[in-house]
Chains A and B, each alone.
Chain A
Amino acid sequence: MKKIIALLLTCVMVLGLLAGCGGGKTTTETKAAPAATTPAAGDVTEAPAEAAPDTIVIMAPPVTGNYLENLKTWAADFHELHPNLTVEIIETSWGDHNDKMSTMAQAGEAPDIAEISSNALGTYVEMGVAIDIAQYLDADRLADYDANALKYLSLEGTVYGLPLYLTIQSIGANKTMMQELGIDVAKIQKEGWTYEEFLDVIKTGTKDGCYGFVFANSGVTASDMLYMFGAGAGLSNTFTSDLKYTFTSENMLTLLSAVEEMTQSGYMPNYGVEAGQRMVMCQTGNAMIFGKAMPLFEANFKKNNAALAANDGTAVENSLPMDYAFLPVPTMLGCEESCYGTVDGLIAMRNKNTTDEHLKNVLLFMDYICSGERIAACMNELYLDPVCQTGRDALVLEEGRDADNLATAARCIAMVQAPPEGVTAEMTSTAKKLMDEQIVPKFQLLLAGETTAQEVYDHICEAAYAAFGEENCVSGKLG
């Protein structure tokens, strides 16, 4: 008897351990979620009653504060419109989203729809799991999305996903302090500024206990500085229209020299600043301008001001009341003003159960959540403009938004240059590896003051020539 009990316990233990290998998903069934919104004018038509039942799996991180909750509502609405289609949501955090997605994709069990940053598209195309969505989506629906944004989710002319938003990354500032120092913030926002003007401003803003400029440069966040200021130095894209690698151009040396000058100037900290510290440094009066910044930060500053006024203990410790200004990045070398932007979107992915009929359903839902009032709601939370016509039509701007910031954001979005056509998945994945393994590590060294701009530039050129061939890299000045 004892043996039988022991055997049973052993079996339970083994089965318990093996249970994790099963196909069970940690999903949220959305059938029961409340239906709160009504379908917009541009929404899909109702499916025929006899259509076969199908389940669509979407994996998404909290794109906005309310995104995952909204997604449940939209999935329920969609189910009402198409009773044969059920949506399962795999909720992820930003921290584990990419790893989870990559692991599932490699195992052939990718979700049908997944959130992705355009920078990572090449990896999934090379893996053979990204799907050409144009085959499964009506052409008029695809035409609803801005061509510029779609280019970010395309490789070699094939569209792999629908854009959620085009995010712009630039710099932000303590507007109150800048105005007190006599700096014409409105002019900078309207007309842009040069690197020399920027240097003068951060010099003015630097005083005891306060840096004129702070940038989150610790660890991998250093690459943000390269991309952002790179846009101002004419390095808006990794490849030129004739598909040559741009980071070997003289523009890169100019950019690196500017960064070297900034780190040695004393106008910005000469130590590693974590991503979470930069805005806090601005709010506490320890920095005047900070990066990277997005239009959305206006909401954070307003919330903090309200908390300070209410004195309810929720404000950032030692923070001061101040207005937020979203600023364009300064230009270098007489380059045209530009802004760094990326597209985050949803891609359709192949898994072991993918069929053509299923993909049509997948695209139906993907289009549904990327357009109309759904995307308008997201954009209101992110302080961004929708990148599809139905989204713009449905957008009702929240009241109280700073008109100058709004106009600057719109101007910056218009300046974002989409990647050129013809770039292959292999090129993007080689460029990503080059950036992660060679450029960013050397750039970190430059930020730490342990090398010179020229040495970093020489290393980048050598590494790029080895990766792409010298003939496929830009030499001299761009443009």
Chain B
Amino acid sequence: MNSTKLKRQQVHHKLRFTNEDLWGYIFIAAAMIIFCVFTLYPVFSAIYTSFFNYKPFGSEFVGLQNYIDTLKYSKFNLFYKAALNTVIYTVVVVPLSLLLSFCIAVMILPFKKKTQSVFKAMYYLPGIASGVALSVVWLWLYDSSPDGIFNRLLGLFGIPAQNWLSSTKTSMLSLIIMALLSSHGVRIITYIAALLGIDNSYFEAAELDGATFFQKVRFIVWPLVKPTTLFLLVTGVIGSFQVFMNAYMMTGGGPDNSTTMIGLLIYNNAFVYGKYGLACAQAILLAIAIAIMSLFQFKLMGVDVEY
């Protein structure tokens, strides 16, 4: 009898709303309000709008028509071409960026802390600059005239001048090079943090066994930074699928829609053609694709990852 009463008292005590709890909820509320207003509401609003032919004064319910229009295959439906372009861009840019960042991080690691900081700052710097300003610089680098910087460089090796952004042969490559040569800062810093977390005893043991530098990287470093790689891969794929600025500023999606990405297509439908419903449907489909991709990556790569 007494034991039952004690248990009830314990449960009651656990459920009691204390003053401390109130403060906790108040502080959580701040983050929740921001999340609801800037994330949750726009998502639900986009889902709702995707079922309408949106007009500011009297939208018309069209059911799944926007989704049907998006997915209906036609030679002239840009959605599939944009999706393919985005996949190509992602498949090339994300793994190469990770590899590049990993290599740079491994090369920076042996330096003293001050030198490391200098390199980290240098690589992080492009991330601070405005994307628009960077695009202007890249436009200048990709000047297609024989006097363009990259064309002059090619000229030194006897390679003819390239029509960088105006030819289907080089337009996507140009955007990929631009993505690969800028904004590695966050990835490098993340990798360095992960590398610093590896216990020295592993390396000492490997040295006693006579392991080479590459063997240490292959059998110690790479497996131990796998959780970091998985995180960067997932966030990299998400970011890459949403790429917009590069195509918008550099090529406008051309030539022959060879650099039209899903993000640019959604933007054009919403802001150039005023078709918000269609744009929302495409955005929802993109979100679903990203979610599936992320799930797939976690399943594939997360098998032996422990947090």
Contacts and interface: CB of A to CB of B under 8 A. Distances in A.
Interface string B26-66: 11001001100110000000000000001111100000000
A329 to B, nearest CB: 23
Interface in A423-461: 429, 432-433, 436-438, 440-442, 444-445, 447-448, 450
Interface residues of B, number: 43
B255 A445 contact: yes
Interface in B243-259: 251-257
Q: Label chain B's interface by main secondary structure.
A: loop
B145 interface: yes
Interface stretch (B1-9, B95-103, B105-113, B164-172): B164-172
Nearest to A125: B274
Q: Label chain A's interface by main secondary structure.
A: helix
A468 interface: no
Contacts of A107: 56
B56 A127 contact: yes
Contacts of B23: 3, 7
A469 interface: no
A433 B77 CA distance: 11
Interface string B262-273: 000000101111
Interface in B160-201: 161, 163-169
Interface in A216-251: 217-220, 222
A128 B55 contact: yes
A126 B274 contact: yes
B55 A127 contact: yes
Interface stretch (A11-19, A151-159, A195-203): A11-19
Interface string A83-116: 0000000000000001100110111101000000
Given A272-B166, A273-B145, 17 more contacts: A14-B34, A21-B37, A106-B276, A123-B272, A127-B274, A128-B55, A219-B254, A220-B254, A269-B145, A271-B145, A350-B56, A441-B253, A445-B255, A445-B256, A447-B166, A448-B166, A450-B169
Q: Which 9 A-B pairs have the closest CB atoms?
A: A272-B166, A444-B255, A271-B144, A108-B56, A10-B30, A219-B252, A272-B144, A445-B256, A441-B256
Interface of B: 23, 26-27, 30, 33-34, 37-38, 54-58, 74-76, 78, 139, 143-145, 161, 163-169, 251-257, 268, 270-274, 276
22 contacts: A3-B23, A6-B27, A10-B30, A13-B30, A14-B34, A17-B34, A98-B271, A102-B270, A105-B56, A105-B274, A106-B56, A128-B55, A217-B166, A218-B144, A219-B251, A220-B254, A432-B273, A436-B268, A437-B257, A444-B256, A448-B167, A466-B75
